[in-house]
Structure formats: structure tokens, C-alpha cells
Structure 1
């Protein structure tokens, strides 16, 4: 008993006990599923039947036009959301943080409300807004300009535009809060010194605010890349299912869901998932390398 008590109260053992929860969680919920998925990607997994087929899933995947359509959609969605959900929230955060802004807390709360809205509800509302009937909100707006109703969700450009509008409506408030947290950490003495030197508002923004917000910007861009590639539910709710016209809203995750859940081809879906993981890692690593977070040895 004395030996057990000594082991329990050991200062050398305590750090390992505290970090063991993380490593167990990481191993159970990431390492094991990843290893299992990797094995399944080389198999044909059907109900009651598992067969090793080598690289057949990957060969079929890279020759599948629907898969490349999903990749193109996901990549375009990621690029557009990153291009819109970084500069605009940054500017909005600067306005809210400004001393001359009236009702900044009110606007901050209002812009955060979409995040609290269920994505199922939001997708349904946007589907009604961009409906094809003359009574839908967007077609009513067109009616004021004497334009014929448009089938928004049945065309590539307008359908994808609706998806981007939904993304911006939902996530702008979150990114504003990220940038506000970064703005609060910038000492006001920097701006006061710049004013003494005669700097105007634009010069202060480009010479002080943007450089000092770089860590937040890198973080927001990193999670935006992941969110863009992993998007699924927005598209699913906007088109009420995973089969949009001509696959205009199909994403990589939607394609994975179609193959794994709808068609019960888990081996093929595992290959899709691993390709998605590789794409996300490569893009994020390239982005971190370009922004200087990851540096080569000797730099």
C-alpha cells in the first residue's frame, strides 16, 4: 500500500497523468479512425462483405468527373469565403472598435445572432428567399425593376451565389469577434504616436492595424480554409437534399456522404475522405508557409 500511495502522489508521474487524457482522446477519436479509414480505402466494403482491392478505389476516384466537380465546387467555395470573410469582418471590426462608433455593442450583438441560428432553419429561410416562384423575396426585388423571375437555385452562378451569401450571413459575426479581440490587444499608444506624426486613418490602418492583426488573420484564414473544404450542411439544406441540379452545389463532403451513406460504399467513401484530408493539409501548410508561420531551417 505504501508503494501504491507513493506512486499516486509522485510528482514525476503527475504530469503524465494530466496529459494522458489528451493523448487517449486523440488516439481514440483521431488516430484509430484515421488508421481504420486508411485500411478501408483499400477495400470494397459492402454489407457482410469486405474485399481487399488495392488502389482500385483511388483509380476510380481520380477518373470520376462528379468527384472533380465536387472538388471544384469546394475549392471555389473556399476561395470566395476566404476572400470575403477576412477583409470585410476586419473592416467592420475596426468600425465597431472605433471611438466615434455609436452603438458598437448593439451592432456586435446583432451581427453575432446568425451564428446562434440553427443551420437547418437558416438554410430553409434562404431557400425561400431564393425560391423560383414570383413571390420569393429575391424575385419580388427583381419585379420592382421589371425583371422576370429567376430560378435562382437551378443555375450555377446564382445558385452558388446564394450559397456564398448564406456563408457570409452566418460567419461574418464570428470573424468580427476574432478581429475585435485582436484590436483590443493593440496598445493605443501606437495610434497616438502615429497621429502626432501626422498619419491619417488609412495610414494607421495599413501601417499599424493590419500588421498587428496578422496572427488573428492567419488563424481566421486557417479555419476558413478548413470550413470551406468541409462545408456540407449549408448545401444540403439550401437544395433540400444532396442532389442539386447538375451538382452545382455538390461538395467533397457531399460526395463522400453520397457514396458512403446513400450508396453504402464505405471503402470508396474512405478514399474520398483521405483525399479531402490531404487537400486540406496541403492548402493549410502552403498558406502557413506563405504567411511565414512555417519557415525553412536557416531562415
Structure 2
């Protein structure tokens, strides 16, 4: 299981032979995407607002540009929708492109100056790299790999209510990968840290870009080996083992890989 689209080709520069009769515009500002009122992404030959534009790639033979609205209040007649709430309102491949727009705009705004010496950076002509003309330091769009895992024990699954959820809502365990460790090692460490359990048979499930603001979620299933649940109170309010027919409020399917992991487990339990 993974998030794929075979109709979008990312590129730093538009191809010379690209049809310019229509363009997809993705205006963004701090996680909010501006779309056609009640509709999808803006498709027009002319940009809907005057602001910095960044080429993203080609979606189904149509050029796609992000528009950075951070320094302007001009939104035209467009409707602001947070990227999370945009899921399901537009085709999946367009949502992925909208997420990419948010990430690239964030990258451009946070890499204006060299992180080593403070000199204004220059953009490479052949990729999205930023190079410092003074010290030659290179920077690229930031990606933060994170593991997300569903722990299984016989016919039960481990779900946890994390402190990031305002209401009583459970999900799978997740955490960022530390320098020097593999994804599988991150799974073992995070499960032990968050709930005090030892696991094995760690099996890769799939991945999902998560543009809030620049994570790459790598999903796994694994099996319980030993231990009693002892929650990391700084991160988790409650955790427990649940049968397929007695789940707490949690994602099933939907927009996130957490929901996909749970849905896959339910299907293997014979629940559809």
C-alpha cells in the first residue's frame, strides 16, 4: 500500500514544448490552499492573483504552479480551504499536488539565506537545490522521515490516544526517525518509548507524503513480543489492545496512512 499517482511528473523547470493553453494554479498560505469557490484547483491560462510563482511539474500534460500568498492579502475570488479539509473535495492526485505546493513554498521561504554563513542563496537551474555563492553550502527541500506502526497481538491491535488530539481519539503509534537508525530500529525504539512493549516481525506496509509541513510517513505492521503497556505520559493519554468489533474512535481508511493501516488490519480480521 502506498500513495501513488502516475499522472504527475515533478520538475524544477517547465518543458519547452509544454502546452500553455491552460495552467493549474495552487495559491497557498500557511497550510491553506485557495481553490475555485465550491470546486477544485484553479485552471486558467492566467494566474488568478499577482504573487511569486513556483513551477511544480506537469499533471496530466498540464503545467502546475504554486503561488506564494504569504506577502499579499490578495486572494481574488478564491475560497480558502485548509489542506487537511481539502482531502476528498478534489481528486487524490490534485491533493498530492496541493501538498507539494505547500511544501515547496515553505522550502523557498525558509531557505532564502544560507544556514551556514547567512549569505543570500541562489537557486540551481537544474534542480530545486539552493547553493550559497559564498561558502558553497547546498540545501534541498526538507523531508523528515517518520515511522508509523500498527502493533498486533493475536486478534487485537494496539491503539493510543495521543496528546495531539483534543478529543478522545485513538490512532497508531508514530515517531520521527533518529539520525543513524533504520526505519525498523525506529519502530522498535518508538514502541518501547511510547508504550513499553517489545515487538518483532516488522513488515513494511507503504508510505505517504505528509505535508504538515514536510514529513514522509513510512508505515509498518509488527507483532507484540513481550511487556505490559506503560504509556509515555508526555506523549500519550491512553493506550490499549482492541478487538476488531470493539474499536474506539479512530481513523479507518480516509486521508491518512494511519487509517489505511487500521483498515488493512480490519480486512485481515474479516471486517469489511
Does the TM-score normalized on the shorter chain lie above 0.5?
no
Could you say which TM-score interval applies, normalised by the shorter chain?
under 0.3
Structure of higher RCO (CA pairs closer than 8 Å, 6+ residues apart): 1
- Structure that is richer in helix per residue: 1
Larger Rg: 1
TM-score (norm 1): 0.23
- Structure that is richer in strand per residue: 2
